[in-house]
């Protein structure tokens, strides 16, 4: 289960690719079983993650606070996977499936996140008006906010943006 979960969720392998890897090692398994095991891994990992929030928060505080990256991804007229990551470490703090990025859902997500991890030192967000508005309201307006779409292939640009925002607004 662990190997399948890591291949599926960390390395982003598809079920058929995982089946081929395991088959090459003499382990024959159906893709449906791979789906079940990868979901089981995800649920157990999520529960483990939630159980260790106090230690994760302490680590963030030791590193100077949370650099909160928010992003919602989804196709038109489908549910949104709304995710919060710590920008320096890349640790996913939480992720939820929400129907839309409306105030109702984003605010609830951010309030829960704030109660677990405290007020971030900066929030990097995409250009969604609902996320921008609610990030400011939820964290009491104490935040330095920057609007930027963060993608895998522009990590360097995101780091430069963080430094610019920090330099502009001070520590």
CA neighbor of 105 nearest in space, from 81, 123, 76, 125: 81
Task: Find the mean pLDDT for residues 38-63.
Answer: 94
Where do the domains of the chain lie? 2-51, 54-169
Collapsed DSSP state (helix, strand, coil) of residue 163: helix
Q: What is the pLDDT of residues 70-114, one digit of tens each?
A: 888 876 667 888 899 999 899 999 999 998 878 888 889 999 999
The interaxial angle of helices 31-51 and 53-62, nearest 10 deg, is: 60
User: Distance from CA of residue 64 to its chain's centroid?
Assistant: 19
Q: Which distant-in-sequence residues (6+ apart) come within 8 Å of 71 by Cβ? A: 82, 83, 85, 125, 126, 149, 150
Angle at 25 between CA 23 and CA 30, to 5 degrees: 25
Strand order in the sheet with 144-147: 92-98, 80-86, 67-73, 122-125, 144-147
Architecture of domain 54-169: 2-Layer Sandwich (3.30)
Query: Backbone phi, then psi, for 164, in 5-degree steps?
Result: -60, -45
Task: Find the mean pLDDT for residues 126-141.
Answer: 59
Collapsed DSSP state (helix, strand, coil) of residue 124: strand
Q: Are 98 and 117 in contact (CB under 8 A)?
A: no
137 pLDDT tier (thresholds 50, 70, 90) = low
What pLDDT, on a 0 to 100 scale, did the predictor assign at position 147? 40
Task: Find the mean pLDDT for residues 31-49.
Answer: 94
Residue 155 predicted with pLDDT over 60:
no
Burial 36-58 (b: 16+ CB within 10 A, else e): ebbeebeeeeeeeeeeeeeebee
Q: What is the pLDDT of residues 112-125, one digit of tens each?
A: 999 999 989 888 87
d(CA 123, CA 99): 22
């Amino acid at each position: 289960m662990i190997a399948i979960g890591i291949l599926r969720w960390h390395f982003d392998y598809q079920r058929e690719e995982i089946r081929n890897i395991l088959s090459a090692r003499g382990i024959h398994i159906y893709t449906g079983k791979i789906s079940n095991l990868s979901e089981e891994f995800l649920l157990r990992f999520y529960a483990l993650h939630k159980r260790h929030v106090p230690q994760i928060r302490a680590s963030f505080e030791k590193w100077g606070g949370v650099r909160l990256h928010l992003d919602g991804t989804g196709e038109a007229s489908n549910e949104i996977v709304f995710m919060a990551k710590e920008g320096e470490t890349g640790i996913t703090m939480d992720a939820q499936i929400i129907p839309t990025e409306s105030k109702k859902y984003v605010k609830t997500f951010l309030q829960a996140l704030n109660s677990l991890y405290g007020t971030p030192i900066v929030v990097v967000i995409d250009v969604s008006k609902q996320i921008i508005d609610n990030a400011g309201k939820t964290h009491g307006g104490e935040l330095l906010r920057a609007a930027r779409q963060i993608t895998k292939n522009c990590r360097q640009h995101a780091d430069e943006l963080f430094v610019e925002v920090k330099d502009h607004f001070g520590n």
